[in-house]
Amino acid sequence: MTEHATAPPRTASILKALIIRLHGYIGLMVGPFILFAALTGTLYALTPALEQAIYHQALTTDPTQSTADAAPAPLAEQIAVAQAYLGDDRAPSAIRPAPEPGTTTRVMFNDPSLKGSEHRAIFIDPTSLVVRGDMTVYGTSGVLPLRRIIDQLHRNLLQGDIGRLYSELAASWLWLAALGGLAIWAFSPSPRVDAGKQTRTAKRLRTRRRHSLLGLVLLIGLLALSATGMTWSKWAGANFFTLLKAGGWGTPRVSLELGAPSATNAHADHQASHTQSALSNVGDADRVLAAARQAGLDAGKIELRVPGPEQAWKVREIDRAWPSQVDEVAIHPQSFAVLDQVRFGDYPLPAKLTRWGIDAHMGVLFGLPNQLMLAALGIGIIVMVSWGYAMWWRRRQPNAGQALWPLLRRLPPATLIVMGATALGLGIAMPVMGVSLLILLGIDGLRANRHAMESTAISDSR
């Protein structure tokens, strides 16, 4: 052999081999989680229209009992109807007035049997004062039971916080799998294959070409889904919001403390002596809503949160479509003066981008086009992952030369240090990714060691 033939491969060639092997590992080990997240995410994106049909009675008024031009009853009367329906006079936790004619008001109550962010909602016809529905709703979007189940499947497999490991695992690796696929496509183009060939290799190469092209088409969407998915994940998401807060880029919130100085109205009445009597008196909801409207909250979708002890009313816009209407104000429970106000236009840019990213991920930012785009992206991911497994199945040939550890040992020390520091930083920022990477390297090391032992045994037997 010549000296050139025996020379070690260049660093670039080793890195390319590492990318190919890591991409394969991600597909094989994380692929099932990505596949399930794509399936449930697609279902979630397609359910809004279905929900409108299933829960039509609760969401809309009865045309035989009310007319579109009839004036809605005061919120106080609607709340009283909900309380009478429940058989007690407990104060609701929040009220969502009917956003437009023909729709119902939601009077929401805390219930100790429900989980966090869940409320029991009584749906009231605002003109006829008829109870139209009674069901559990979830979150700011007011998700109804069908979407709630699909949402929890997508988020945590219906297993609470421990189940969130799966979705965070999928989101943490998706962006790296997408960029790795881009690198493989750029530096390792698929060889041309005769369309008439039906050998296993030819089929695998054709599938590889389809897999790569579909990945390129979906690339931006994959990166966006990964980023927004990690934003609200348990561990990586917590680190993300800690970083935003440290940089002063967090989402601003109004202060509900009655003793806090008012930036909007310096002459507001902050006396707390009358607060307790207002806590159980939700009859002032109409005056609170009027004060919020006068302060500039003009969205159709709006929520009034009933104050707790020594707190002000919180009124917020909850329309997350485009343009986003998520302004909020704090209203004094006696004087009805605006104590504090936050406008979406005053959000720091990172907070705005976070809001838009999450809403787009949920399919609410651009309405139906957003939902259809998410569904198409989800179906594309399902197809792409399926093609990846088809390639793996058609190959089915162990190749220990593709293990990570033998390749890592051939890299220059400086390159290894940079890669190690990068992996450490990513592992700290995304703990689920960091732990899963250690597991992956452990499996790869065991596999490489077993192959080395088998190779030694074969050599000794000759």
Residue 275: half-sphere exposure toward Cβ, Cα within 13 Å: 19
Residue 68 is predicted with a pLDDT of 57
Pull the structure tokens for residue 102: 């023909």
* SS3 assignment, position 294: helix
- d(Cα 423, Cα 120) in Å, to the nearest integer? 45
pLDDT tens for the chain, 462 residues long, are 444 444 456 889 999 999 999 999 999 999 999 999 999 999 999 998 899 999 999 999 988 776 656 789 999 999 999 999 999 888 999 999 999 999 999 999 999 999 888 999 999 999 999 999 999 999 888 899 999 999 999 999 999 899 999 999 999 999 999 999 999 999 876 667 666 667 777 888 888 999 999 999 999 999 999 999 999 899 999 999 999 999 999 999 999 998 644 444 443 444 444 434 444 568 899 999 999 999 999 999 999 999 988 899 999 999 999 999 999 999 999 999 999 999 999 999 999 999 999 999 999 999 999 999 999 999 999 999 999 999 888 776 555 446 899 899 999 999 999 999 999 999 999 999 999 999 999 999 998 888 777 667 666 665
Number of neighbours of residue 111 by Cβ within 10 angstroms: 12
What's residue 451's pLDDT? 74
Q: What is the pTM of this model?
A: 0.87
Query: Among 404, 321, 400, 369, which residue's Cα sits nearest to residue 140?
Result: 321
Residue 264 confidence (pLDDT)? 43
Tokens of 394: 């058609």
pLDDT score recorded for residue 63: 81
- Residue 168 is predicted with a pLDDT of 97
DSSP codes joined into one string, 226-248 = HHHHHHTSSHHHHHHHHHHHHTT
User: Which residues, in sequence order, are CB contacts of 282 under 8 Å at separation 6+?
Assistant: 76, 79, 91, 92, 95, 306
| pLDDT value, residue 365 | 95
Predicted confidence at residue 218, as pLDDT, reads 97
Closest Cα partner for 289 from 79, 6, 74, 45?
Answer: 74
CB 313 within 8 A of CB 258: no
Write out the E strands in 346-421. none
Per-residue confidence (pLDDT) for residue 66, from 0 to 100: 61
Could you please report the per-residue DSSP string of 312-335? -EEEEE-B-SSSPB--EEEE-TTT
| DSSP track, 144-198 | -HHHHHHHHHHHHTTSHHHHHHHHHHHHHHHHHHHHHHHHHHHHSPPPP--TT--
